[in-house]
Amino acid sequence: MNTNTTFRLGLGVLAALCLQISGNLYGASYLYQDDFSNNAGALNGRATASGFGNWTADSAFQVGSDRITINSNTPDYNRASFSLPALGATDILSLSITLRPSGSLFTAFGFTSGPGEYVSNTGYNWIYFTGLGNPNPRIEVLTGGGPSGLSYSASLTNPALSFDASLATTFQYTYSAAAKTLTISASNGGNSSLLVNNLDVSATPLSGLSNFALMFQGQTLGNDLTSPAYVESMSISIPEPSTFSMLLCGLGAMTAFYRRR
């Protein structure tokens, strides 16, 4: 068998593997999306998607009217979380979440190393958000763990934001495990802003992003018809680029080998 034939056969095998593994790659990529439009009732125990754990939530958290709300402020701090697939060294974690805080204190979301933790106490790369009913509606980004590593802080009336506290805000959140960076943007009404761009979060351990965590503290109840605090929708994904990268390296190595021959 001559070199050309060997090369063609090798490329054919790699192409077949590429198609198969690409199919497995995208089939195995992890994605959880929820607009909370079905299965009304307690958030606790709500199913997510393959690779993710189910929601674990304090009893105040409820799903209804296409959103997550709370039905009690006794106590006035409530937490909810679910586990994520383990992040690899080259993975990218993407989160989109739309919510509106309302009440005297805050809504927060981010990631924790353990289940059932308060993100404000032990969270990594998390967002503190105050809105309607708070004397100083604002957005803060903290790298953590817990209430440390303040990396961004701005009032909603800051010209860089000009956000309307009565409207829901959508956050787009991207963490690169390879680069150890965090990028977060936010949009509200017709306005949008880049909060942090490729922020160095190398101090965050991968284990610190084992669980998504949500927290309501001092927030308006869901039965308030004018100004409840709520989460409207969310999407979280973890594609797996490492296998595809290895395939490209293999193709490159075979091409180099052929050229040397």
pLDDT digits (tens, 9 = 90+) for 177-219: 999 999 999 999 999 999 999 999 999 999 999 999 999 999 9
Q: Average pLDDT for residues 211-229, to the nearest whole number?
A: 97
CB burial of residue 40 (10 Å; 0-12, 13-18, 19+): exposed
CATH code linked to domain 34-239: 2.60.120.200
| pLDDT (0 to 100) of residue 1 | 56
Identify the band that residue 104 occupies on the pLDDT scale cut at 50, 70 and 90.
very high
pLDDT value for 82:
98
Average pLDDT over the chain reads 87
Q: Residue 135, preceding bond cis, omega within 30 degrees?
A: no
Instruction: State the average pLDDT over residues 157-174.
Output: 98
Query: Which of 259, 143, 115, 132 shows the shortest CA–CA distance to 199?
Result: 143
Q: Which of 77-81, 89-93, 251-255 has the lowest mean pLDDT?
A: 251-255
**CA–CA separation, 229 vs 216, rounded Å?**
8
Q: Closest by alpha carbon to 72, among 212, 213, 217, 214? A: 217
Residue 27 has pLDDT above 70, yes or no: no
Q: Is 100 left (phi over 0), alpha (psi -120 to 50) or beta?
A: beta
Average pLDDT over residues 13-22: 42
Q: Where are the domains of the chain?
A: 1-29+242-261, 34-239
Q: What is the reported pLDDT for 48?
A: 98
The answer, yes or no, to whether residue 2 has pLDDT greater than 60, is: no
For residue 28, is pLDDT > 90? no
CA distance linking residue 26 with residue 175, whole number of Å: 19
Name the β-bridge partners of 160.
none
Q: Tell me phi and psi for residue 79, to 5 degrees.
A: -130, 155
Q: pLDDT band for 243, please (50, 70, 90 cuts).
A: very low
Q: What's the rounded Cα separation, in Å, for the pair 188 and 163?
A: 6
Residue-level pLDDT at 18: 43
Structure tokens of 106?
Answer: 């805050």
Q: What is the pLDDT of residue 254?
A: 42
Instruction: For residue 34, name the pLDDT band (cuts at 50, 70, 90).
Output: very high
- CA neighbours within 13 Å on the CB side: how many for 183? 11
Q: What is the pLDDT of residue 167?
A: 98
Most confident of 11-15, 69-73, 251-255: 69-73
Residue 38 has a pLDDT of: 97
pLDDT > 70: percent of the chain: 81
